Structure 1
Amino acid sequence: MQAETVDWDDAYANAPYIPDSETYPARLTAAAEAFRAAVPGELDCPYGEHPRQRFDLFLPEAEPKGLMVFVHGGYWMRFDKSFWSHMAKSALARGFAAVLPSYRLAPEVTIPEITADIRAAVAAAAARVPEGPLVLAGHSAGGHLVARMLCADAALGAAADRIARVMPISLISDLRPLLKTQMAGPLGLDADSAAAESPALMAPRADVPVHVWVGADERPAFVDQARWLAEAWTGAALTVDPGHHHFNVIDGLAQADSPLATALFDGL
């Protein structure tokens, strides 16, 4: 019997399988701009010297009860914080401050360097909002990056003790399959770095609740990646969200009482 041939680039391609996928960047931009017009924030707060090492901070009307950091996706190669400002809505509605960082992108830097950027961004954000629980959420590549913050090498310092919940959404938890794609070159991945940056191959901090979230209508590879982390990290919850694909699975962060926001914030 002939072995099945897998097209790994297709397996990790989202846009061809999402209706009207080409409209999402403009739709995100419009929603983010409208949010920033209605909710002034402290924009472009530096956490490093590179122009992309900046985050936007949005504060609730009252003293923040805690802080959410949301890390965007884009396969570590595209987008920035300006597309996602409205993802702060659920945090603000629940009395949390929200920080959305940009970070350096491949191929200018490698994934370990991007992980270091998020480590620095989280530490700097926690210093800006020094009281209350710290909640980390991230989508796609951002889901990978927030999961990395629970690994032994994260070295977050004082901020680590405040992490109350981590929600990786539609993440890549094991980077080794990406070695079989054309992305491996621009991402600077080899066998060693892919393994070293794979949360599913690492032990997390045992004292922080983790809720892995993925859309039921996503590519099978992304459902697998979510399941792999939930299985590897003892005690992690897994939600396969009906009716959601890779681009709209995070819409709940812009809705205070959505199932996604409830899972992220309730009890904190």
Structure 2
Amino acid sequence: MTISRRSAVLAVVASVVAAGPAFAQVERGRWRQRRHRPANGASGMPHVRTPVGPDPLQFYDLYGGEADGSILAFIHGGGWSRGDATMVHALPDYARRHGLSLASISYRLVPDVTPREQAQDVAAAVAHLRRHFPGRRIVLLGHSAGAHLAALVGVDAAYLDAVGLAPADLAGVILLDGAGYDATGDRGGGFSGRVLNRLYADAFGDQAAALSPTLLVRAGRAYPPFLIFHIESRADSRDQSQGLAEALRAAGGHAEVVVAPADSHRDINVEFGVAGDAEGERAARFIAGG
């Protein structure tokens, strides 16, 4: 699989712009790695890789398949154009501690596909998990662009309907610091605004409204409960998180927004699931139904 250098660079720069100087130092080092080389967030815990489509990126890695609790289906970030399903950080151990199985979902990347096909890949993985683990609750967890895809699959019935399911078949959706729930908005001027606007244009093209979960929420439809985290330092993530939650509540759904005050965009992902992490422990209660 190939990707234009320009699109990949835009994704990195957009992450740096959104998350600040500390993240910039980390990303500059990580950018030296090849796109599909396992990142530092890879886990040494055993797992089973299961294809769900003909493309090499259509698969999920299952950790702790012998558990009998809920399945936590993780969707990695990366500006829709990069990232790696091996980047699970503390999640396998988190799942083990809480009696869960972790399925880290891989999906095809921009520019080879759009977020529409990426959401289809996520839905295909969810359907495979449902068929092979009947009766197990499935909770989606996404970070950054992965949070957008988790929200899209949790809101727009077209994706799960195509594989014989519905959004209400999900036990819940957990979102970590996404800022693309309404992809139609302008992200401002200056260098950072131009970079982000270009990133979104490359990913969504003229389909931004059709791929914006907030704009697709409708009254009278059944949605899973949402737990939406955002870091304190990002106004765009805060506004997008609140906008999605308000739309879901207005439609009769349940959505809670939680601020992660001490985290960066990277921290909320890397530290999620570390023993004692506030966001991970709040999510554990959500997964358990509390």
Alignment of 1:90-239 (within 5 A): 90-151=94-155, 152-154=157-159, 155=161, 156-158=163-165, 160=167, 162-171=169-178, 172-177=180-185, 181-190=197-206, 193-203=207-217, 205-217=221-233, 219-234=234-249, 235-239=254-258
- How far apart in 1 are the matches of 2:228 and 2:205? 24
C-alpha contact 1:200 1:232 (8 A) present in aligned 2: yes
User: How well do the aligned residues superpose, as a CA RMSD in angstroms?
Assistant: 2.6
Q: What is the number of equivalent residue pairs in this alignment?
A: 249
Deviations along 1:151-207, one digit per CA (max 9) or x if unpaired, are: 2323253475542111111111101126971124432511xx110110111226545
1:15 aligns with 2:54: no
Show the counterpart of 1:4: none
Classify the secondary structure of the residue corresponding to 2:102.
strand
Show the counterpart of 2:80: 76
1:29 aligns with 2:39: yes
- How far apart in 1 are the matches of 2:282 and 2:224? 14
C-alpha contact 2:231 2:263 (8 A) present in aligned 1: yes
Residue identity opposite 2:181 in structure 1: S
- How far apart in 2 are the matches of 1:256 and 1:160? 30
C-alpha contact 1:122 1:159 (8 A) present in aligned 2: no
Classify the secondary structure of the residue corresponding to 1:69.
strand
Show the counterpart of 1:5: none
Q: Normalising to structure 2: TM-score of the pair?
A: 0.77
- How far apart in 1 are the matches of 2:73 and 2:63? 11
Deviations along 1:201-237, one digit per CA (max 9) or x if unpaired, are: 12265452111111112x3222221121112110310
Show the counterpart of 2:5: none
- How far apart in 2 are the matches of 1:166 and 1:117? 17
Q: Would the alpha carbon gap of residues 178 and 58 (structure 1) be closer, same or farther in structure 2, given more than 3 Å must change? A: farther
Corresponding residue to 1:241 among 230, 239, 260: 260
Residue identity opposite 1:13 in structure 2: A
Show the counterpart of 1:262: 281
C-alpha contact 1:103 1:118 (8 A) present in aligned 2: yes
- How far apart in 2 are the matches of 1:18 and 1:129? 43
Q: Normalising to structure 1: TM-score of the pair?
A: 0.83
Q: Could you tell which deviates more after superposition, 160-169 or 225-234?
A: 160-169
Q: Structure 2 stretches of 5 or more lacking a match?
A: 1-9, 188-193
1:14 Cα shift?
3.4
Between the aligned residues of both structures, percent identity stands at 28
| Structure 1 residue ranges, 4+ long, deviating more than 6 angstroms after superposition | none
1:87 aligns with 2:91: yes
